[in-house]
Chain A
Amino acid sequence: MRKVAIIGAGMTKFGEEWGRGFRDLIIEAGKASLEDAKLQGEEIEALFVGTMASGSLIGQEHTGALIADFMGLTPIPSTRVEAACASGGVALRQGFMAVASGMHDIVAVGGVEKMTDVDGGNVALALGGAGDQEWELFTGATFPGIYAMMARRHMLEYGTTEEQLASVAVKNHKNASMNKYAQFQNEITIDTVLKSKQVASPLKVFDCSPVTDGAAAVILCPLDKAQKYCEKPVEIIASAQASDTLALHGRRSLSSIYATQVAAKNAYAMAKLQPKDIQVAEVHDCFTIAEIMAIEDLGFFASGKGGKATEEGKTALNSDISINTSGGLKGCGHPVGATGVKQAVEIAWQLRGSAGARQAKDAQIGLTHNVGGSGATAVVHIYKKAF
C-alpha cells in the first residue's frame, strides 16, 4: 500500500446560501482545492463525492457525473458516495484507497449538500432516511429524538447534565467565532442553550447542529510525489470505517457508539498511535451529546467522563486536546454530505499551521471522526504533518 497525502484543501462558506445552488457550491470548493494544490485540473485521474440526500433535497441524483461535468473533468471516473452524514468521510476513504492501492495518482475528493431549498419538515424527512424508515421514522421519531434518547441514557448511566451538554455548544460557538467559513460566528452562553426552545427533550435548539448549505474538497496524491505540488503536504496515516445496526434500538448500548469504538481502534492500530498522541480532532457533534460520546469512544476521555471534561474546558482550543477547532457541526454548520470532507480540510489547515486565530499550538497529529445516522456508520482518519 502506498502512503497518501493531502496536497490541496478548500471549502465554501457554510451557511444558508440562498443565492447559490448545489453545483455552484461544489465547484467553488473544488476550485479552491485545485488552486491550493496549484493544479490545473487535467492532472486529476478520479473524483469521489460525498452527498447524502440530493434526491430528496434538490430532486437531483447522479451527482458524480454532474460534478465532473461542471468541474470540466469529464471523462474521468466520478463516483458519488452515500453513507448518510458520513458520506464525506466515506468518500475520503474511497479516495484514500484509490491512491494507496496504486490505481490512481491524483484524486479529488469532494463533499456537498444543498439543504435550504426545501422547508424544515422535508429536511427532517430527508435526514430521517439515515435511520430505519420502516421502524424508526414511521413512528414519528426524528433524528433529534433519536439522539435525545441516547442523551437520556448517558444522563442516567453516568450523571451527565444538561449544563454539560450545553458546554459543548458554547465551546464550539467560541471556536466558530474565529472561523470565517463558519455558519455561526457568534459566542453563546450556557444560558443561551438552556433557555432555547425544546426540540426533542432533553435536547434544545442550541444542542442541535443547523441546516446548512456548503461544500468542501481535498486533493490526494502519493506521499512521494506530494512535494512536487505542495510545500506543506499532510499525510493520511490511517483510515478506518465500521458499521452497526441501522436503527438505534438494535444497538448494544445507547450511551456510546460502537462503530466509532471499532473504527477508532482500527485507525489507532494502523497509525501505530494512541489517543494521547492526538493534539487536534474534528469530531461528529451533530448534537451536543454526540460530541460527548465521541470524545469517550475515541479514547480521549473515559466512558462517562466526557461531559465533565467538556465542562472543565479540557476540550477547548489549546487545552488537553483541541476538539472541533472549526466550530464543529454545531458552530461551523452541517451540510451533511460535506461535513466529513470539511473535517479533513480543517485538520489539514491545523497541521499546516494556517488556521489563524483558532490555530492549535504545535499540532503534529490530527484526527477526524464522521458518523452516519445515529451510529450505523463511523469513519475515522488520522493525519500527520509531512513537511
Chain B
Amino acid sequence: MGVNMDESLAITWRRIPERYRLEGSECTKCKTSYFPTRKLCPACRRKGSIATKMFSGKGTIYSFSEIYAPPAGFELEAPYTIAIVQLEEGPKITAQIVAPHPQVKIGDSVEAVFRKIQEDGQEGLIHYGFKFRLVK
C-alpha cells in the first residue's frame, strides 16, 4: 500500500539523462522546446520531429510555495520551498529551491544545481536530480 514509484531502480535509471543533466527535447519542425522529454510533439504530432536538446539550467521563479506538510519520504526536510521555474528556453518545470522561503520572490533569477532529492529506506536507493538556487 502507498507504493512509492521512486523505489523502482528502473524508473530512476531511465530518467538519469533528464534528472542529472537537464536533457530534454525539441521539435525540429516547430522549434518548441520540451522538458521533460516528449517523444511526440503535441503541436505537430505525426508531422513533428523530436531531437534531444540540452537545457542551460537558467530560469526565473514563476510561482512557489513552502511545504510544511510533506509527503512520505520528505519528512526530515520540511519545511522546504518548491517552485515552478520558467527555463530560459521556454518550458516550465517543478523543482525545489535551495533557499529559505522569505528570500524567494516571483521573478527571481535561478540556476539549476545537482542535489540529492530523496533517500528511500527500503532499497537504499539515493535519488539525485536538480534543484535551483537564487542567483544575484
Chain A residues with CB under 8 Å of chain B are 55-59, 118, 120-122, 124-126, 128, 133-142, 144-145, 148-150, 152-153, 156, 197-203, 247-250, 254
Contacts and interface: CB of A to CB of B under 8 A. Distances in A.
Contacts of A250: 92
A203 B11 CA distance: 32
Which 10 A-B residue pairs are closest in the complex by CB-CB distance? A122-B2, A148-B65, A121-B72, A149-B63, A124-B71, A249-B92, A201-B66, A140-B74, A200-B65, A198-B68
By secondary structure, the A interface counts as helix
Contacts of B58: none
B110 interface: no
A201 B1 contact: no
A122 B70 contact: no
A140 B75 contact: no
A122 B6 CA distance: 14
Contacts of A152: 63-65, 106
B69 A144 contact: yes
A139 B106 contact: no
Given A148-B65, A249-B84, 19 more contacts: A56-B1, A121-B2, A121-B72, A124-B71, A125-B71, A125-B72, A135-B93, A137-B71, A138-B6, A140-B67, A140-B74, A140-B80, A149-B82, A149-B83, A197-B68, A198-B79, A199-B68, A199-B69, A201-B66
Contacts of B72: 121-122, 124-125
Contact of A254 (B11, B84, B93): B84
Given A201-B101, A248-B94, A249-B92, A142 B2 contact: no
Contacts of A59: 1
A149 B64 contact: yes
B114 to A, nearest CB: 14
B88 interface: no
B84 A125 contact: no
A55 B118 CA distance: 24
A126 B4 CA distance: 9
Nearest to A154: B63
Given A199-B68, A199-B69, A201-B65, A140 B1 contact: no
Contacts of A120: 69
A140 B96 contact: yes
A122 B71 CA distance: 7
B67 A145 contact: yes
Nearest to B93: A249
B66 A200 contact: yes
Given A56-B2, A200-B69, A248-B84, A150 B63 contact: yes
Contacts of B3: 55-56
Q: Quick one: which of A59, A149, A156, A202 has the most chain B CB within 10 A?
A: A149
A151 B79 CA distance: 19
B63 A138 contact: no
Nearest to B92: A249
Contacts of B129: 138-139
A135 B68 contact: no
Contacts of A138: 6, 117-118, 127, 129
